[in-house]
Structure formats: C-alpha cells, structure tokens
C-alpha cells in the first residue's frame, strides 16, 4: 500500500510549512487526479493507520477530493473532459495533452483560530 508514505509525506510537508501552527490544524484537503493512481478510501485508511502511530493527529479531518481528467485539444484550442479514458475531443481529434488529472496536492489547510 503506497498510500501510507503519501499520507506521511503530506503531514511532514505540513509540519515543515507550518511549524508554529501545525498543532492548530483542524482540516486538510487533498486533491487527487483520477490518473494519479491514488484511491481516496485507501488514503483515508492510511490516515487512520497513521493516527494509531501518531494520536496527536486524531483531531484533524482529512478530505480527499477527486479531480476529473481534463485534456487540451490543439485543433479546437479548448479543454475537454476525458470520459472513460477516451482522450478524444468532441471534434474527433485525439490528444495526449493532459491539463488536469495527474496531480496529488494539498489544496486547503484549515486552522483553529
């Protein structure tokens, strides 16, 4: 399960980015593109496992938001949604230019005030 090191990295990054406020974090939102090879339920399970090792994180909510795959068509000069892994624009032109769907990032951090 590669999600455990991913969740550890998320919290290590937060600790490095917010050392003075880390203990006041109440919620973390992570965006995961459909192509990033991460399952939200497995991220949640990995977070629960991390809490067992580090109970001081138990007050934090972790939310994983799935992002759809969006590609860009050079013929139409527009973005289009990739449905069922069909990377073909409405105009019929195939495209490999992915503009969204591969990312895994911390998108929002909420703190206790």
Q: Which residues pair with 62 in a beta bridge?
A: 28
CATH fold of 3-68+101-111, please?
hypothetical protein PF0899 fold (3.30.2320)
Dihedral, 107, 1, 102, 6 alpha carbons, nearest 10: 30
Q: Which residues pair with 72 in a beta bridge?
A: 79
State the Cα–Cα distance between residues 24 and 39, nearest whole angstrom. Answer: 27
pLDDT tens digits, 19-78: 999 999 999 999 999 999 898 899 999 999 999 999 999 999 999 999 999 999 999 999
Q: With a threshold of 0.95, does the pTM exceed it?
A: no
């Amino acid at each position: 399960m590669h999600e455990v090191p991913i969740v550890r990295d998320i919290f290590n990054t937060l600790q490095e980015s917010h050392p003075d406020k880390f203990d006041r974090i109440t919620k973390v939102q992570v965006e995961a593109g459909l192509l990033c090879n991460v399952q939200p339920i497995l991220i949640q399970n990995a977070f629960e496992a991390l809490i067992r090792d580090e109970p001081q994180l138990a007050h934090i909510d972790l939310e994983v938001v799935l992002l759809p795959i969006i590609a860009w068509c050079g013929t139409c000069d527009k973005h289009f949604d990739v449905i069922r892994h069909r990377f073909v624009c409405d105009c019929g032109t195939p495209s490999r230019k992915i503009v969204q769907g591969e990312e895994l990032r911390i998108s929002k951090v909420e703190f206790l005030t």
